[in-house]
Chain A
Amino acid sequence: MKSKYLKIIILIITSILLIFIFFIINQSKNKLKLNTKRKIQQTLILDKSIKLDKRLSVMKLYENHLFFVSWTKDNQGKIFRFNLSDNKFEKEINFNKINEKLLIETYFIENDSIIYYNQLNNSMVFSDFDAKKIKEVIYPKRFSRLMKFGDNVLFSGWDKNYNIFFENYSVKSKKIQPNKFEDNYFLKYENSGISLDGFYYRNDNHVIMLPYAINRVYTFDKNLKYNGKIDLIYGELDFKFRKSEKEDLFIDPSNLNPNIAGYIDDNDKLYILTDHSTKWDKSNKCFIDIYNLNTKKYEKSLKIDDYNNSKPRFIAIDNSNNKLYVLFDENLNSYKL
Chain B
Amino acid sequence: MKKKISETLRFILLLLFIYTAYHKLIDLNHFESTLMKSTLIEGYQIKYLLYFVPIIEIVTILFLIQKKYLIGLYLSFFLMLTFTIYLVVLNNFSFYKGCSCGGIFNELSYSEHVVVNISLVLISLISIIIYEEITITAKTY
Contacts and interface: CB of A to CB of B under 8 A. Distances in A.
Given A11-B81, A253-B37, A279-B39, A19 B89 contact: yes
Interface string A187-217: 0000000000000000000000000000000
A237 to B, nearest CB: 16
Given A1-B136, A11-B74, A25 B42 contact: yes
Contact of A244 (B33, B85, B89): B33
The 9 closest A-B CB pairs, nearest first, are: A250-B36, A15-B82, A15-B81, A253-B39, A242-B43, A19-B85, A11-B78, A26-B42, A4-B132
Interface in B32-70: 32-33, 36-43, 45-47, 50
B43 A252 contact: yes
B41 A26 contact: yes
Interface string A218-256: 000000000000000000000000111110101011100
13 contacts: A4-B129, A11-B74, A11-B77, A14-B78, A15-B85, A19-B82, A19-B85, A26-B42, A245-B50, A246-B29, A250-B37, A279-B39, A279-B94
Nearest to A253: B39
Interface of B: 29, 32-33, 36-43, 45-47, 50, 74, 77-78, 81-82, 85-86, 89, 93-94, 96, 125, 128-129, 132, 136
Contacts of B39: 26, 28, 253-254, 279
Contacts of B46: 242
B101 to A, nearest CB: 17
A252 B29 CA distance: 17
Contact of B77 (A8, A28, A279): A8
A242 B82 CA distance: 25
B40 A244 contact: no
A4 B82 contact: no
Nearest to B133: A1
Contacts of B86: 19, 22
A1 B140 CA distance: 13
A7 interface: yes
Interface of A: 1, 4, 7-8, 11-12, 14-16, 18-19, 22-23, 25-26, 28, 242-246, 248, 250, 252-254, 279-280, 282
A15 B43 contact: no
Contacts, number: 69
Main secondary structure of the interface of B (DSSP, over half): helix
A252 B38 CA distance: 8
B46 to A, nearest CB: 7
A11 B33 CA distance: 28
A240 to B, nearest CB: 8
B29 A15 contact: no
Nearest to A19: B85
A245 B47 contact: yes
A32 B132 CA distance: 54
B81 A244 contact: no
Contacts of A23: 40, 89
Contacts of B81: 11-12, 15
Among B41, B78, B86, B125, max chain A CB count under 10 A is at B78
A245 B51 CA distance: 12
Contacts of B128: 4, 8
A253 B96 contact: yes
B40 A22 contact: yes
A8 to B, nearest CB: 7
Nearest to A252: B43
B32 A244 contact: yes
A245 B49 CA distance: 13
A253 B94 contact: yes
B113 to A, nearest CB: 16
Given A22-B40, A245-B32, A248-B29, 12 more contacts: A15-B82, A22-B86, A25-B42, A26-B42, A242-B43, A244-B29, A244-B36, A245-B50, A250-B33, A250-B37, A279-B39, A279-B94
A81 B86 CA distance: 41
Nearest to B84: A15
Among A14, A22, A250, max chain B CB count under 10 A is at A22
